[in-house]
C-alpha cells in the first residue's frame, strides 16, 4: 500500500496508495526500473483457519466442477498431470469464526515438494536409461503423488501460513517452474491442448517434465500494470521440472505455445521471453510503462540488458 525508494537523482521519495494510486500501479511491477525500493507497507488482516481438501479429477470433471467450487466460496489450486490428462484440485476455504489448530501435515507436504519429489524424479532420470521404463516409473510416481494428496492432505482448521514452502538458496535438487496465465473463459480448451502439447513434445524429443505442472484460479487484478489477470479472471499453467538443458529447450517451445494462445507471463517468473511475446501479451501497457520509465530515469541508470531488450 506504500513504498519508499531512491530515485535516479539519489533522492528519497515516498508513495502511498491513498495519495497516488496510479503511481502505485506502476511501481507494483516496476522490477527496480523506477528506483531502488528499500521499504514497503503491506496490507494485512487477521489470521483465519483454513479448510483444505484435495480431489482427483479428469479434465472434463474439472471443467464441470469449477463453477461449483467458485460458487461455494473455495479458492482453487490444481496440480496438472498432462501425460495422464488428470488434475488434483486443491480447495481452500477460510473460516473466520474458527481458530487455527493444526499444521503438521503441511510440514510433511512442504518437505515432499521441495526435497523428496525432486530427488525421486532426478533419480529416475539418472538411473533408468530405457525410455519406456523411465516413462513408466514417472507415471507410477505421479500416481503415488495423486493418491497421497487426496488421501492425506485434508484439514479442517489449519494454519494458513504453514502451507508456504521456503525453497533453499543452494538446493541439492531443484524445483524449477515457469508461469503463464490465460483468460478463464478460454482456459479449459487450452488445458487440453497443453496436455496434447506435452505428450507430442515427449514423442518428438524424448523429454517430459518430471514434476507435475501446477496452476491457480486468479481473480482479476488491475492494481499492478503488468498484472497477468488485467483483462479479467484467469487460470495459470505452470510447468515444473528439476531442470537441465532439455528443460530449457522445452520452455522455449512452451513460451511459443502460450503466446500463440493469448497467454500472459510474469517478467520475473517466466524465463526466455522475447520482445514480441511481451508486446503481444501487454500491448499498450508495455508502451505506457516504457514511457513512464524513461521519464523517471532518462539516463537509464536502472535499466539492465534484460529489460532493455523487452522494452525496446
Chain segment 239-258, per-residue pLDDT in tens: 999 999 999 999 999 999 99
Mean of the per-residue pLDDT values for the chain?
Answer: 95
Query: 204 and 262 in one domain?
Result: yes
Query: Is the per-residue pLDDT at 312 higher than 80?
Result: no
Q: 261 near 182, Cβ under 8 Å?
A: yes
The pLDDT, as a whole number, for residue 106 is 93
Domain that includes residue 76, residue range: 49-273
Query: 168 and 73 in one domain?
Result: yes
Which three cell numbers mark 243?
Answer: 531442470
Task: Tell me which residue of 228, 219, 209, 224 sits closest to 273, measured CA to CA.
Answer: 228
Query: 230 and 96 in one domain?
Result: yes
DSSP letter for 102, please. Answer: B
Angstrom CA distances, 59 to 63, 192, 208, stand at: 6, 7, 19
Query: 293 and 262 in one domain?
Result: no
Query: 14 and 72 in one domain?
Result: no
Place of cell 525410455: 131
Mean pLDDT of 206-216: 96
The pLDDT, as a whole number, for residue 97 is 87
Residue 212 half-sphere exposure toward CB, CA atoms < 13 A: 26
The pLDDT, as a whole number, for residue 205 is 96
Which three cell numbers mark 247?
Answer: 528443460
The pLDDT, as a whole number, for residue 1 is 95
The pLDDT, as a whole number, for residue 180 is 97
| CB neighbour burial string for 181-220, b if at least 16 within 10 angstroms, e if fewer | bbbbeebbebbeebbebbeebbeeeebbbbbbbbbbbbee
Query: 83 and 228 in one domain?
Result: yes
**Structural domain includes residue 178:** yes
Q: How many domains does the chain have?
A: 2
Structure confidence at residue 210 as a pLDDT band (50, 70, 90): very high
**Structural domain includes residue 149:** yes
**Structural domain includes residue 279:** no
Total Cβ atoms within 10 A of residue 132: 8
Query: Is the per-residue pLDDT at 113 higher than 80?
Result: yes
Query: 250 and 129 in one domain?
Result: yes
Query: Is the per-residue pLDDT at 83 higher than 80?
Result: yes
Q: Which range among 15-19, 166-170, 225-229, 280-284 shows the weakest confidence by mean pLDDT? A: 166-170
CA dihedral 151, 187, 84, 134 (to 10 degrees): -110
pLDDT above 90 covers what percent of the chain?
Answer: 90
DSSP track, 163-197: G-----SS-SS--EE--EEEEGGGHHHHHHHHHHH
Q: 62 near 89, Cβ under 8 Å?
A: yes
Angstrom CA distances, 137 to 25, 127, 131, stand at: 47, 11, 10
Q: 199 near 82, Cβ under 8 Å?
A: yes
Total Cβ atoms within 10 A of residue 39: 10
The pLDDT, as a whole number, for residue 168 is 83
Query: Is the per-residue pLDDT at 311 higher than 90?
Result: no
Task: Tell me which residue of 34, 52, 294 sits closest to 153, measured CA to CA.
Answer: 52
Q: Which range among 44-48, 61-65, 78-82, 258-262 shows the weakest confidence by mean pLDDT? A: 44-48
Helix (H, G, I), strand (E, B) or coil at 268: coil
Mean pLDDT of 73-97: 96
Amino acid at each position: 500500500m506504500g513504498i519508499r525508494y531512491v530515485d535516479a537523482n539519489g533522492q528519497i521519495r515516498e508513495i502511498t496508495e491513498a495519495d497516488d494510486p496510479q503511481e502505485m500501479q506502476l511501481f507494483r511491477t516496476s522490477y527496480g526500473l523506477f528506483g531502488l525500493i528499500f521499504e514497503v507497507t503491506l496490507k494485512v488482516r487477521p489470521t483465519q483457519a483454513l479448510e483444505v481438501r484435495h480431489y482427483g479429477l479428469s479434465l472434463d470433471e474439472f471443467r464441470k466442477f469449477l463453477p461449483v467450487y467458485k460458487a461455494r466460496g473455495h479458492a482453487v489450486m490444481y496440480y496438472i498431470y498432462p501425460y495422464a490428462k488428470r488434475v488434483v484440485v486443491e480447495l481452500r476455504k477460510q473460516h473466520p469464526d474458527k481458530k487455527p489448530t493444526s499444521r503438521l501435515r503441511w510440514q510433511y507436504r512442504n518437505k515432499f515438494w521441495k526435497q523428496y519429489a525432486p530427488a525421486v524424479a532426478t533419480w529416475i532420470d539418472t538411473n533408468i536409461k530405457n525410455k519406456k521404463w523411465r516413462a513408466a516409473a514417472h507415471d507410477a510416481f505421479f500416481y503415488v503423488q495423486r493418491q497421497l494428496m487426496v488421501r492425506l492432505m485434508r484439514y479442517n482448521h489449519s494454519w494458513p501460513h504453514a502451507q508456504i514452502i521456503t525453497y533453499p538458496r543452494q538446493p541439492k535438487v531443484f524445483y524449477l517452474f515457469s508461469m503463464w496465465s490465460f483468460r478463464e473463459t478460454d482456459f479449459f480448451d487450452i488445458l487440453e491442448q497443453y496436455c496434447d502439447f506435452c505428450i507430442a513434445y515427449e514423442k518428438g524429443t524424448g523429454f517430459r517434465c518430471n514434476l507435475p505442472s501446477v496452476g491457480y484460479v486468479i481473480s482479476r487484478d488491475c492494481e499492478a500494470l503488468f498484472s497477468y489477470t488485467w483483462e479479467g479472471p484467469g487460470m495459470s499453467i505452470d510447468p515444473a521440472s528439476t531442470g537441465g538443458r532439455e528443460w530449457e529447450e522445452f520452455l522455449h517451445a512452451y513460451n511459443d505455445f502460450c503466446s500463440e494462445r493469448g497467454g500472459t507471463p510474469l517478467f520475473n517468473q517466466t524465463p526466455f521471453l522475447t520482445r514480441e511475446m511481451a508486446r503481444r501479451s501487454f500491448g499498450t501497457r508495455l508502451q505506457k510503462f516504457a514511457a513512464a520509465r524513461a521519464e523517471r530515469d532518462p539516463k537509464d541508470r536502472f535499466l539492465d540488458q534484460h529489460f532493455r531488450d523487452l522494452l525496446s
